Amino acid sequence: MRALELPNEVLSEKNRQEVLRAWIDGGMLSISVCNRFPERYRDDHAQIWGMLLSDIFHHVVDAVVLETSRTRKDVRESLRHSLEEVVGSDRGTRCGALKIHSRCALQLPDPDVSGDDNCVEIVRIALLPDSIRVIVLVGMWLPDNEESVWGNILYDAAAMIASTFNPERDADRVKADLLADILHYIDHPSTKYSGEYYNTQPERRAKRR
């Protein structure tokens, strides 16, 4: 995983709050999301996290459109359907870990994928003084239908966030509320977002030679 310094475009553009960066390395998908939120985000988790995860949704739609000939409407509807399917399945949550840092970390640790075939991704979230950072590693080859992978990632991230930030409340109820917020912000984006998408497979192959 590359160093996750807060991107310059976030620092220089007041209207930009987050940047998504995604890599495919040897068929393994890694993403990072850097968010610049006001201090109050720590006291308003529900609203902030719903917006954050919905922004990841829009970033992913943009990335899939860039690498395929599909229309944005088609990709958006397919990804939304995949998310709704996994929400309706009410399956258990896969692996997640939350890391809280009191000061800016230049690099977050690489997520590990366990030997358990049922564990295909790990979500790590770091709360820094000036930003929220999320990294995900999907321990599997991406299928032709990338939306199915992302629908599961968004669901797992929402479940992990709900259980971590609201231990005194019913986690299932909080998760349901958060997922409802995500779907709301998917249909009604409230902030501008910017993204970059990298496929580094050729670079990795070159290094191996």
Per-residue pLDDT tens digits for 6-42: 445 545 555 444 555 555 555 555 555 555 555 555 5
* Residue 153 token pair: 């990632």
Query: Which of 196, 188, 195, 197 lies closest to 51, judged by CA?
Result: 188
Higher pLDDT, residue 27 or 68 = 68
Most confident of 43-52, 89-98, 112-121, 177-186: 177-186
Percentage of the chain lying above the pLDDT 90 cut? 1
> Which residues, in sequence order, are bridge partners of residue 138?
29, 121
Average pLDDT, the chain: 63
Residue 38 token pair:
């006001």
- pLDDT of 148 higher than 70: yes
| pLDDT of the residue at 109 | 43
Phi first, then psi: what are they for 94, rounded to 5°? -85, -165
User: Would strands 121-128 and 18-25 be described as parallel, antiparallel, or unpaired?
Assistant: unpaired
More confident residue, 18 or 49: 49
DSSP state of 41: G
pTM for the whole structure: 0.63
Taking the C-alpha atoms of residue 98 and residue 85, their distance in angstroms, rounded to an integer, is 25
Structure confidence at residue 120 as a pLDDT band (50, 70, 90): very low
Contact at 8 Å (CB) between 142 and 43?
A: no
Residue 111 reports pLDDT greater than 70: no
CA distance 72 to 182: 19
Q: What is the pLDDT of residue 165?
A: 62
The mean pLDDT value for 180-204 works out to 62
- Give the count of beta carbons closer than 10 Å to the beta carbon of residue 118: 8
The position carrying tokens 């739609």 is: 61
Boundaries of every domain in the chain: 16-204
Long-range pairs, 111-119, Cβ under 8 A, ≥24: 111/1, 111/30, 111/135, 111/136, 111/137, 112/137, 113/137, 113/139, 118/94, 119/94, 119/95
Between 203 and 86, the higher pLDDT residue: 86
Q: Which residues contact 37 (CB under 8 A, 6 or more apart)?
A: 17, 48, 131, 132
**93: exposed, middle or buried (Cβ count in 10 Å: 0-12, 13-18, 19+):** middle
Are 29 and 1 a contacting pair, CB within 8 Å? no
User: What was the pLDDT predicted at 193?
Assistant: 55
Residue 118 is predicted with a pLDDT of 45
